[in-house]
């Protein structure tokens, strides 16, 4: 056995992603579905159509990100006057009013993290398509980062939920969720699925084919 030098797939083996047992892939099943003998989970040596699916989800996320930024995320009604806030105008308000730590938190969670995640995944998919050999370990690490940080973008959705619940003081003050809230939530959920559909093992596959 030459463990430590080859990928499982090169040796016609595949690890189960549920119970981790390494199983032999029967000849001719490459790419198709087989069941793990131990736990019955469907084993696919690589995620199916990883590049195409990730692209589709990324494009959808980019498209939804525009209305998420342009439309108001909250509508505040105070004594009959309506004030609409977008994500960015909220950030700017906090920066100007001296509450810059909060402004920074919202900026990082709602603007920086989603954009960073989209850009990193886009770069990774393109690097796969170009069969890049460049720093596979760092690219795998980049992927790990996108998996970890994505969830923190949900902060703004939770803030809107709490504001809507708390600020219902009849005619005095009332906060409603704006259309951007739904678009933004869609971006967060779609990028989570995009990260899930990306297969970092492909980064290493193009290296092995070169040898």
Partner 1 sequence: MSAPLIACHECDLLQHRLPIPEGSVAKCRRCGAPLYRNIPDGVNRTVALAIGGLVLFVFANTFPLLSMQIGEQESSAELYTAVKAMWEQGEKALSMLVTLTCIAAPLTVLTLMLYVFLPLKFGRLAKGTVAVFRLLTTMQNWSMMEVFMLGILVTVVKLVKMATVIPGLGLLSFFVLIFLLAAASASLDTETVWERVDARQ
Judged by the rule CB under 8 A, the positions of this chain that interact with partner 1 are: 1-4, 6-9, 11, 13-15, 17-22, 38-41, 45, 99, 102, 105-106, 109, 136-137, 140-141, 143-144, 151-152, 154-170, 172-173, 176-177, 181-182, 185, 189, 192, 200-201, 203-205
Quote the distance between the C-alpha of residue 160 and its chain's center.
21
The nearest distance, CB 22 to partner 1, in angstroms, is 4
Among residues 70 and 173, whose Cβ is nearest to partner 1? 173
Distance between CA atoms of residues 119 and 96, nearest Å? 29
The separation between the first and the last C-alpha atoms of the chain, rounded to the nearest angstrom, is 19
Pairwise CA distance, residues 184 & 157, whole Å: 8
Please state the closest distance from residue 15 (CB atom) to partner 1, in A.
Answer: 3
Classify 51 as helix, strand or coil. Answer: helix
Tokens describing residue 106: 């919202």
| The two three-digit tokens of residue 25, written as one number | 């892939």
Q: Which is nearer to partner 1, 13 or 56 (CB)?
A: 13
Going 120 to 148 to 64 to 159, the CA torsion angle's sign is negative
* Beta carbon of residue 37, minimum distance to partner 1 (angstroms, whole number): 9
Q: Which CB sits closer to partner 1, 106 or 118?
A: 106
Max Cα-Cα span within the chain: 76
Closest to partner 1 by CB, 67 vs 136, is: 136
Closer residue to partner 1, CB minimum distance, 1 or 27? 1
CB of 86 to partner 1, least distance (A): 15
| Cβ(9)–Cβ(45) below 8 Å | yes
CA atoms within 13 A on the CB side of 164: 13
CB 43 → partner 1: shortest distance, Å? 11
């Amino acid at each position: 056995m030459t463990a430590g030098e080859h990928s499982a797939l090169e040796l016609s083996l595949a690890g189960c992603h549920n119970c981790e047992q390494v199983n032999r892939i029967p000849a001719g099943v490459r790419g198709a579905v087989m069941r793990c003998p131990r736990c019955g989970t469907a084993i696919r040596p690589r995620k199916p159509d990883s590049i195409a699916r990730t692209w589709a989800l990324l494009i959808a996320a980019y498209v939804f990100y525009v209305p998420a930024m342009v439309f108001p995320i909250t509508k505040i009604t105070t004594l009959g006057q309506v004030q609409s806030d977008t994500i960015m105008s909220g950030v700017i308000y906090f920066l100007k009013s001296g509450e810059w730590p909060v402004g920074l938190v919202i900026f990082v969670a709602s603007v920086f993290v989603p954009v960073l995640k989209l850009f990193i995944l886009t770069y990774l998919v393109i690097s796969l398509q170009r069969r890049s050999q460049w720093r596979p370990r760092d690219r795998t690490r980049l992927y790990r980062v996108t998996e970890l940080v994505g969830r923190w973008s949900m902060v703004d959705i939770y803030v809107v939920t709490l504001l809507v619940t708390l600020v219902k003081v009849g005619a005095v003050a009332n906060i409603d969720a704006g259309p951007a809230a739904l678009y933004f939530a869609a971006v967060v959920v779609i990028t989570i699925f995009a990260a899930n559909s990306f297969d970092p093992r492909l980064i290493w596959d193009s290296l092995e084919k070169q040898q």
